[in-house]
């Protein structure tokens, strides 16, 4: 479908890469999903198959040139920006006045988030508020910053957003991620704007008074958002001001009323933002730096300001003066030390070079505390993989040492790829970077990723001994979100060395399923780990059900369930008593027939999981042991009510299961099978297991398991046996189409009234979003219609068609009688009634049945009905009604011509030339239905007329391969085109009517299409169509 897959590997995640597919316009159109939203000149759609992406369709036709310029500027800017807090435009495609933008998809916006809290009167948690604020400040700092460089090395200007507000801040579903969007009003940040733009509630005073925007006015808007996050209300001074009113209100000594802001730290920030002089407001970068120092889990933040950039620069100048004169320093290193962004930008190509001390520009910038320079040289990517994390992963000890003060404690973005929320320490542990782990453990030891994993767990899983030793003291005993310890991960992955290291501190702990490290070693068959863990953990039991093993299972039971025979032999010596394993059960498990026979005195006993010897033999597929045990233990059930048949089926031993079934669950004298009984009692698991063996079997009354499940009201079992498909077609609909009366009767209570989501074609009739009743009516299953009419009568498909209409099209008189009371008089979206459809499809018996109830609503006159029947005398008696049309625009002449009543056509010549609502003539219907006599009578007056799609009578005749009619029409209509430039010959080629092609070739073979249709481009000839469709014989005719 697309040029590359959406798979982000672990390696890619650590390196900060992300594979986004490159779409063509055709691929985008095929993948286009549901409408997500829209505005004045654009709509946003989901992209099917890519839940993290959306496509924005922008139409600029007839828009002012200024708006076109603004939109193109936004598209250019946004497609170059690369920051986790700025909506990412991955691809921009154009077609004429349309732009198609592939971008990241979010679940909501900040405006709705605030509104939800306001509605429930629940304050936004401080931690969430600060997280949102940090992301917004950091993103705005990026947007404002001049000379930033994206991941492709493009140098990007700073811009002013000019319409920052909650509605333009997108949010992830869990609220943890925000991104600034809608830059349609943005300007270059190097030049102040002098146009009035944005949303009044979020505008700074200078915008109202001086019509002037700048980065400082964006910061004011950010302040209003902060106030709204804290109080769930707008500040009182946030409204639309006239310039004179604003001057009177915002006087020089004005101060904001922040009494509603109870949080001291937030109030301090707002006091600095809400000042009238734009120059006095903090920059977004200063706000981001201040917020980055916060620890929201350690109470209130301190009041200290971050160290000013000037101080860092002076320190570097003083401390590194000797280094600067060293000839090994590149211009990039000197710029990095001085904090000179522009110079750094110019020399970025030297970022991998080292001086005589082995230092890179990145390390020099980090030691100097220049975060902005660090980001420029090695930027944090959209997954929040930092320079420190990359250095840790590659084992660059000195770079890590330099970067720790700036980036320690940060985590990767908790997105959908594996192991979100990783730290630099975890990446070092994964890669076995011992010296880096030694540096980072004091700063990041004890932190967990989104799955609760620690660095110690990673080191244990990936097998890095020295890292495990370094991390054990700090992190031993910690558990991940599944309550697993590092010891458990080591046992699971057969790392015996780490089991030895961690055994004393972590033995005896259980995970969320109540399993120990010994149990995990048993499950995975890690015999050496099991030996080490036996002394500490033998005899322990699970505290909840796991994978079919009941609560209270031992490591022995779990090993047996997982078919780990070597571990079973080991554990049998230590846990047989606590597991209640008898000699008979052990013999059955091993399949030792002689031992089974020798221990039959223990028959009927169950182990602690409730399993008997027969069940274990069935689970292991030991046919001989099963045969010996069947007569002694058949029909005994475990704690879940399962007998040995279940265990044989579960393991896929079908032949063995059939043997057991004869003893435990045989088909009875009424033909009722094990599957039918399972379906009737609602046993979903047994139903799944028995479906491959017995699904198609029927009892003596012809009923399948589906009927048993439906009668018992088990909707879930019905879905297992005959699932609703992707188009919404239900078991009831399929039964109705097949005419299965008993199945329909049973399924009605569970599935009545449902509609399919797609289209289906039955007997050549199209039903879109139809019902079971419509499917039965189309097939003419009268008994099924009788059952369904009370439940689904009156429902319409997406074209407004009813069951009565589709049966009128199909011609089932018996079904029409059943449906008349419920659906008579209804019309489809084109205004047609069942009567009209019966007439169109030439079903006279149906017309007669419908005439009395629908004649008046269809506006049929006596003349029309007589003309349809071909009743010449009645036509003569009602000629005073000529010229009338029914609600579809049909005349009496059209009805007569469609039925081939030549005498009536001759009587109604005054109606020639009239057209119905689709601009179709009597001649067209005579040609369509193959009545050459009527064609002859109508040709002179109606030949050459076009329907609303540009179709001619000749084209109608070609579609149905009516040769005699074609011969009559050739002289008047050959060479004519429809609205897409298609000729009658092209239509004949497409449907493969060879004789029609022979008649038409001389007149039309050189003509070409003028528009794209059916996948054929403009300029296509009939010969081109023949070749593409594989019509060899027709191609030969056209080439002659």
pLDDT at 95: 87
- Find which of 256-270, 493-507, 949-963 is predicted with most confidence, using mean pLDDT: 949-963
Domain boundary among 47, 74, 104: 104
| Residue 309 pLDDT level (bands cut at 50, 70, 90) | very low
User: DSSP class of residue 546?
Assistant: B
Handedness of CA 572, 578, 583, 587 (dihedral sign): negative
Average pLDDT, the chain: 87
Does residue 60 sit in the same domain as residue 164? no
| pLDDT (tens digit per residue) in 344-369 | 888 888 888 988 888 898 998 888 88
| Residue 147 pLDDT level (bands cut at 50, 70, 90) | low
Query: pTM for the full model?
Result: 0.48
Q: Which domain holds residue 493?
A: 480-579
pLDDT at 991: 93
Q: Do the domain assignments include residue 22?
A: yes
| pLDDT (tens digit per residue) in 239-259 | 778 888 888 888 888 999 999
Does residue 70 sit in the same domain as residue 213? no
pLDDT at 325: 38
| Euclidean distance between CA atoms 715 and 727, whole angstroms | 18
What CATH number did the domain enclosing 55 receive?
A: 3.30.200.20
| pLDDT (tens digit per residue) in 417-429 | 456 889 999 999 9
Domain boundary among 257, 292, 327: 292
Does residue 128 sit in the same domain as residue 265? yes
pLDDT at 326: 54
Q: Do the domain assignments include residue 980?
A: yes
Question: Which residues contribute to the annotated binding site for ATP?
Answer: 56
- DSSP character string of 1-42: --SS-----HHHHHTT----PPPPHHHHHHHEEEEEEE-SSE
Does residue 97 sit in the same domain as residue 135? no
pLDDT at 148: 65
pLDDT at 368: 81
| Euclidean distance between CA atoms 397 and 604, whole angstroms | 65
Q: Is the pLDDT of residue 2 over 60?
A: no
Does residue 286 sit in the same domain as residue 161? yes
| pLDDT (tens digit per residue) in 959-975 | 999 999 999 999 999 99
Q: Provide mean pLDDT across the span 261-275.
A: 91
Residue 228 vs residues 109, 179, 217, 383, 804: alpha-carbon distances, Å: 14, 17, 17, 28, 58
Does residue 61 sit in the same domain as residue 131? no
pLDDT at 1014: 84
The three state secondary structure string of 952-1021 is CHHHHHHHHCCHHHHHHHHHHHCCCECCCCCEHHHHHHHHCCHHHHHHHHHHHCCCECCCCECCECCCCE
What CATH number did the domain enclosing 157 receive?
A: 1.10.510.10
Number of structural domains, the chain? 5
Q: Do the domain assignments include residue 941?
A: no
| pLDDT (tens digit per residue) in 993-1016 | 999 999 999 999 999 998 888 888
Place of tokens 């770079």: 399
Do the beta carbons of residue 265 and residue 300 sit within 8 Å? Answer: yes
Question: Which residues contribute to the annotated binding site?
Answer: 56
Considering the chain, what percentage of its residues have pLDDT values greater than 70? Answer: 91
Q: Is the pLDDT of residue 1023 over 80?
A: yes
Does residue 14 sit in the same domain as residue 64? yes
Q: Do the domain assignments include residue 923?
A: no
Handedness of CA 299, 301, 302, 307 (dihedral sign): positive
pLDDT at 919: 96
| Residue 186 pLDDT level (bands cut at 50, 70, 90) | very low
Widest Cα–Cα separation across the chain: 119
What CATH number did the domain enclosing 994 receive?
A: 1.25.40.20
Helix (H/G/I), strand (E/B), else coil: 169: strand
Q: Is the pLDDT of residue 308 over 70?
A: no
The number of CA neighbours under 13 Å toward the Cβ of 722 is 24
Does residue 169 sit in the same domain as residue 98? no
Q: Do the domain assignments include residue 774?
A: no
Q: Do the domain assignments include residue 561?
A: yes
Q: Do the domain assignments include residue 487?
A: yes
Domain boundary among 579, 594, 623: 579
Q: Give the angle subtended at the CA of 170 by the CAs of 166 and 171, to the nearest 5°.
A: 110
Does residue 173 sit in the same domain as residue 38? no
User: DSSP class of residue 279?
Assistant: G
pLDDT at 338: 76
What is the strand order of the sheet 32-38 is part of? 32-38, 42-47, 53-59, 98-104, 89-95
Does residue 100 sit in the same domain as residue 128? no
Lookup: tokens for 16? 């900060």
| pLDDT (tens digit per residue) in 633-668 | 999 999 888 999 999 999 899 999 999 999 999 999
| Euclidean distance between CA atoms 759 and 781, whole angstroms | 20
Q: Is the pLDDT of residue 41 over 70?
A: no
Does residue 80 sit in the same domain as residue 158? no
Do the beta carbons of residue 490 and residue 460 sit within 8 Å? Answer: yes
- DSSP character string of 79-145: HH---TTB--EEEEEEETTEEEEEEE--SEEHHHHHHHHHHHT-PPPHHHHHHHHHHHHHHHHHHH-
Work out whether strand 53-59 and strand 89-95 pair parallel, antiparallel, or are unpaired: unpaired
Strand partners, 46: 54
| pLDDT (tens digit per residue) in 537-583 | 999 998 888 877 878 889 999 998 888 999 999 999 998 888 899 99
Burial 935-971 (b: 16+ CB within 10 A, else e): bebbbeebbebbbeeebbbbbbbbbebbbebbebbbe
Does residue 72 sit in the same domain as residue 150? no
Q: Do the domain assignments include residue 366?
A: no
Work out whether strand 148-149 and strand 98-104 pair parallel, antiparallel, or are unpaired: unpaired
């Amino acid at each position: 479908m697309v040029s590359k897959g959406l798979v982000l590997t672990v390696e890619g995640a650590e390196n900060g890469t992300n594979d986004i597919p490159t779409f063509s316009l055709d691929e985008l159109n095929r993948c286009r999903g549901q409408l997500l939203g829209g505005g004045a000149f654009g709509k946003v759609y989901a992209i099917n198959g890519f839940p993290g992406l959306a496509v924005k369709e922008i139409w600029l036709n007839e828009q002012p040139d200024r708006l076109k310029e603004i939109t193109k500027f936004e598209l250019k800017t946004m497609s170059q920006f690369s920051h986790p807090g700025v909506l990412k435009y991955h691809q921009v495609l154009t077609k004429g006045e349309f732009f198609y933008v592939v971008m990241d998809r979010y679940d909501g916006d900040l405006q709705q988030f605030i509104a939800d809290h306001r509605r429930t009167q629940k304050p936004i948690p401080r931690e969430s508020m600060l997280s949102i604020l940090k992301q917004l400040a950091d993103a705005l700092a990026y947007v404002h910053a001049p000379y930033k460089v994206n991941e492709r090395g493009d140098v990007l200007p700073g811009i002013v957003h000019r319409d920052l507000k909650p509605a333009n801040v997108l949010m992830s579903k869990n609220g943890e991620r925000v991104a600034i969007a809608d830059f349609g009003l943005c300007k270059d940040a190097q030049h102040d704007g002098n146009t009035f733009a944005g949303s009044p509630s979020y505008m700074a005073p200078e915008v109202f008074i001086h019509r002037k925007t700048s980065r400082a006015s964006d910061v004011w808007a950010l302040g209003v958002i902060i106030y709204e996050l804290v109080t769930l209300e707008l500040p009182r001074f946030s409204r639309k001001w006239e310039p004179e009113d604003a001057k009177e209100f915002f006087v020089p000594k004005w101060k904001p009323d922040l009494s509603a802001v109870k949080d001291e730290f937030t109030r301090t920030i707002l006091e600095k933002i809400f000042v009238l002089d734009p120059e006095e407001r903090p920059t977004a970068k200063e706000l981001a730096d201040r917020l980055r120092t916060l620890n929201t889990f350690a109470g209130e933040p301190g009041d200290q300001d971050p160290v000013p950039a000037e101080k860092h620069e002076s320190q570097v100048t003083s401390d590194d003066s000797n280094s600067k004169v060293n000839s090994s320093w590149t211009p990039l290193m000197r710029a990095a030390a001085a904090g000179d962004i522009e110079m750094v930008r110019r020399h970025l190509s030297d970022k991998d070079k080292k001086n005589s001390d082995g230092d890179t520009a990145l390390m020099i910038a980090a030691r100097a505390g220049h975060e902005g320079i660090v980001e420029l040289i090695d930027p944090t990517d959209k997954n929040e993989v930092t320079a420190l994390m990359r250095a840790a992963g590659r084992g660059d000890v000195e770079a890590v040492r330099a970067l720790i003060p700036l980036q320690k404690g940060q985590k990767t973005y908790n997105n959908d790829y594996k192991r979100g929320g990783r730290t630099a320490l975890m990446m070092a542990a994964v890669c076995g970077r011992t010296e880096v782990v030694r540096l980072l453990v004091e700063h990041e030891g004890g932190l967990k990723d989104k799955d609760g994993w620690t660095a110690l767990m990673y080191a244990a899983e990936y097998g890095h001994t020295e890292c495990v030793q370094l991390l054990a003291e700090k992190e031993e005993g910690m558990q991940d979100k599944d309550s697993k310890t590092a010891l458990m991960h080591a046992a699971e992955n057969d790392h015996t060395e780490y089991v030895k290291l961690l055994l004393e501190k972590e033995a005896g702990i259980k995970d969320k399923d109540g399993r120990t490290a010994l149990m995990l070693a048993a499950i995975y068959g890690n015999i050496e780990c099991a030996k080490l863990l036996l002394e500490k953990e033998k005899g322990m039991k699970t505290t909840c059900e796991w994978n079919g093993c009941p609560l209270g299972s031992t490591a022995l039971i779990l090993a047996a369930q997982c078919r780990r025979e070597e571990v079973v032999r080991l554990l049998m010596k230590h846990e047989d008593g606590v597991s209640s394993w008898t000699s008979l059960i052990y013999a059955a498990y091993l399949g030792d027939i002689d031992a089974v026979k020798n221990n039959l005195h223990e028959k009927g006993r169950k182990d602690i999981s409730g399993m008997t010897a027969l069940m274990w033999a069935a689970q292991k597929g030991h046919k001989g042991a099963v045969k010996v045990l069947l007569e002694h233990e058949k029909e005994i059930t475990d704690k879940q009510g399962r007998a040995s048949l279940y265990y044989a089926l579960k393991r896929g031993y079908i032949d063995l299961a059939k043997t057991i079934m004869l003893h435990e669950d045989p088909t009875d004298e009424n033909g009722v099978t094990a599957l039918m009984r399972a379906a009737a009692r609602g046993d979903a698991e047994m139903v799944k297991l028995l479906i491959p063996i017995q699904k198609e079997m029927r009892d003596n009354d012809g009923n399948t398991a589906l009927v048993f499940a439906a009668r018992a009201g088990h909707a879930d079992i019905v879905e297992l046996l005959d699932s609703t498909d992707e188009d919404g077609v239900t078991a009831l609909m399929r039964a109705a189409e097949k005419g299965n009366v008993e199945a329909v009767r049973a399924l009605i209570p569970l599935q009545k009234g449902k509609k399919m989501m797609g289209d289906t074609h039955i007997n050549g009739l199209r039903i879109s979003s139809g019902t079971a009743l419509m499917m039965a009516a189309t097939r003419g299953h009268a008994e099924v219609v009788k059952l369904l009419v009370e439940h689904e009568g009156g429902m319409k498909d997406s074209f407004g068609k009813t069951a009565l209409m589709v049966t009128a099209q199909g011609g089932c008189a018996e079904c029409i009688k059943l449906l008349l009371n419920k659906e008579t008089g209804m019309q489809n979206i084109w205004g047609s009634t069942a009567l009209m459809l019966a007439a169109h499809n030439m079903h006279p018996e149906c017309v007669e049945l419908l005439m009395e109830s629908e004649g008046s609503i269809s506006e049929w006159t006596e003349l029309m009905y007589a003309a349809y029947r071909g009743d010449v005398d009645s036509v003569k008696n009602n000629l005073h009604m000529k010229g009338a049309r029914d609600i579809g625009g049909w005349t009496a002449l059209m009805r007569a011509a469609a039925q081939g009543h030549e005498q009536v056509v001759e009587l109604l010549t005054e109606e020639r030339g009239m057209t119905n609502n689709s601009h179709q003539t009597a001649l067209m219907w005579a040609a369509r239905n193959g009545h050459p006599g009527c064609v002859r009578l109508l040709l002179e007056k109606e030949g050459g007329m076009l329907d609303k799609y540009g179709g001619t009578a000749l084209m109608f005749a070609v579609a149905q391969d009516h040769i005699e009619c074609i011969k009559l029409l050739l002289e008047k209509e050959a060479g004519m085109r429809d609205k897409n430039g298609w000729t009658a010959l092209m239509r004949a080629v497409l449907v493969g009517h060879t004789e029609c092609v022979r008649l038409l070739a001389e007149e039309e073979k050189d003509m070409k299409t003028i528009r794209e249709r059916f996948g054929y481009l403009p300029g296509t000839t009939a010969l081109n169509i023949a070749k593409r469709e594989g019509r060899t014989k027709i191609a030969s005719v056209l080439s002659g």
